[in-house]
Chains A and B, each alone.
Chain A
Amino acid sequence: MTKPEIAHRAKEILVSGLRLEVTPDEIVDSEPIFGAGLGLDSIDALEFVVLVEEAFGVSIPDENVAKQAFASIDALADFVVEQRQHAAS
């Protein structure tokens, strides 16, 4: 999976998993996922942790990592790429 593919899949999971009333294409890659435009709260964030771990086989060990990974779709895609490279090496 390339980074753009991961970003696209992440947006699909966000929209379908949290039942957002936007389309994946409407989510801006560089904008914060939580605490801003999408109206998502800390309960959504815990839900998204479970969905992202399941979809990409990555591990989100704590709140600090989640905050960095969920800073934006861009950041999340970087996080997934990095974790997968780490796991492969």
Chain B
Amino acid sequence: MSGRTRLAERAAANLRRHSWATLLIDADAGTTSTGDDLWRASEALAERIAGSGGAPEGAFVALQLPNSAALVAAVVGCWAAGRVPMPVDHDVAPAALDDLCRATGARAVVAPAEARGEVAVRALAAPAAPAPPTGAVLLKVTSGTTGEPRAVALSDDALESGVAQIVSTMGLVPGDRSLVTIPLAHSYAFDNVVLTLLLYGMPAVLARDLTPRRLLGVARDARATVLPTVPFLIDVLARSADARPLPDLRLVISAGAPLPVAARERFHAVFGLRPRTFYGATECGGIAFDRDGDATVPEGCVGTPLDGVRIEREDADEDGVGRVVVRSASVALGHHPPSPAGSEGDVELTPGVFRTADLGRLDEAGRLHLVGRVRDVVNLGGRKVYPAEVERVIRAVPGVRDAVVFGVARSSVSDALRAVVAAEPSVTREAIAEACAARLARFKVPRTIKIVSELPRTARGKLDRRKLDASDRIG
């Protein structure tokens, strides 16, 4: 087919090369898929998309599918048909999906059909969306810094470079097998799982049931060697009554949110290996990785740049803290639809360069330490506080699992610092305040402190600030 890109050819060739090999195990459905199974499913879908009438060549196709063989096949099927896949959360609200499709100009939605294991293709009317960047082969959905859902358009060069950087930096080999606990539709798992499967033939085990005993059993039975996951699951697994070392597991990757050192060390005490922090963004894929994996890696350190990635700091202050800027062949073509330019604190994509909204500094060993977000500087009557600095102090208090510090209005002209802390029941507000007073300038000690069991997080594992504010009003 004329619209087939190099990436599509490479994925197709790889699936054929692994015709007889089991590439995907769906632990909950009890099914396995070989390269040939995935290839045939993708060809069938390619025909249906091409025949659906609504979506011409080059059109965007939303894939609203849970973690499954069908999702992987649908990605390849779109490529085979010369369409551009846009994976979305399978449980996305209908109105949010409509908005996203309208904004991006998607022409079809692939979703589960009534019949078990089947998918349905629904064509959408031609929308009046802006023209996408040329050369896009994938749209990744991102919440962005403003919370407004939009997509990031990636070229095949960017995707191939991104996954090559991950494979090389993390030392992934064909014998590895990932245990998947995170949504394949999100950038993190798309790169670490879907692309390592399609381009490197690395098998994946899908687990939708995350009950600790069940997940540990699946990991054991499937002999998973790599676990790309998120901090809250790392914490829950380490505290499970069934937790004991998994002999085949050699690499646990933590991304999406900061991993508290206490949670990392508790996991290490039980499983004998230390989760490695992986820092990345939808706009550029992986940025940095904790290559050391030793006990001395401090809170906030996200490791050294991935192979092929250069990290710079823009407008660094006297402490070396500046906006993190990423130079890499894995940087996306652009946002789609494009973001309104010029707003302070917004991320920015230009060819090969991604200006993040994160603030960081580099140490002598070349490791990146994140200290906050560009937007997250709280101004207390002219004195500036980076919440991350206060959060680090609070996270070091014994019994504290996680913390977030932010500014709340104390009057119409002034903000006060507020801390919401996820901690064991034994931790008191007084203990938190004392720890802050002992290590921070007086004005950096939060004025109000609230203790909760868990910080509210979105489906993407990001802090849910709206929920946080709502719970604050009640508390």
- A residues lining the B interface (CB < 8 Å): 16-21, 42-44, 46-47, 49-50, 53-54, 59-63, 65-66
Contact = CB atoms under 8 A, between A and B. Distances in A.
A62 B453 contact: no
Contacts of A44: 453-454
B329 to A, nearest CB: 36
B213 A21 contact: no
Interface stretch (B139-147, B164-172, B233-241, B293-301): B233-241
Q: Which secondary structure dominates where chain B touches chain A? A: mixed
Given A17-B425, A50-B236, A61 B454 contact: no
Interface in B437-475: 451-454, 457, 474-475
Given A21-B475, A54-B241, A49 B453 contact: no
B232 interface: yes
Given A17-B453, A53-B241, A46 B212 contact: yes
A59 B241 CA distance: 9
A61 B453 contact: no
Contacts of A17: 425, 453
Q: Which secondary structure dominates where chain A touches chain B? A: helix
Interface of B: 209-214, 217, 232-233, 236, 239-242, 422, 425, 451-454, 457, 474-475
A11 to B, nearest CB: 14
Most buried by A among B210, B233, B457: B210
Nearest to A52: B241
A49 B454 contact: no
Most buried by A among B211, B213, B239: B211
Contact of A61 (B210, B211, B457): B211
Given A19-B452, A47-B236, A47-B453, A62 B214 contact: yes
Contacts of A42: 210
A49 B474 contact: no
A49 B236 CA distance: 9
Nearest to B213: A61
A60 B211 contact: yes
A49 B475 contact: no
10 contacts: A19-B422, A43-B454, A44-B454, A46-B232, A47-B236, A49-B236, A50-B239, A53-B240, A53-B241, A63-B210
Q: Nearest 10 CB-CB pairs, A to B?
A: A19-B453, A18-B453, A62-B214, A63-B209, A53-B241, A19-B452, A16-B425, A46-B236, A50-B239, A61-B213
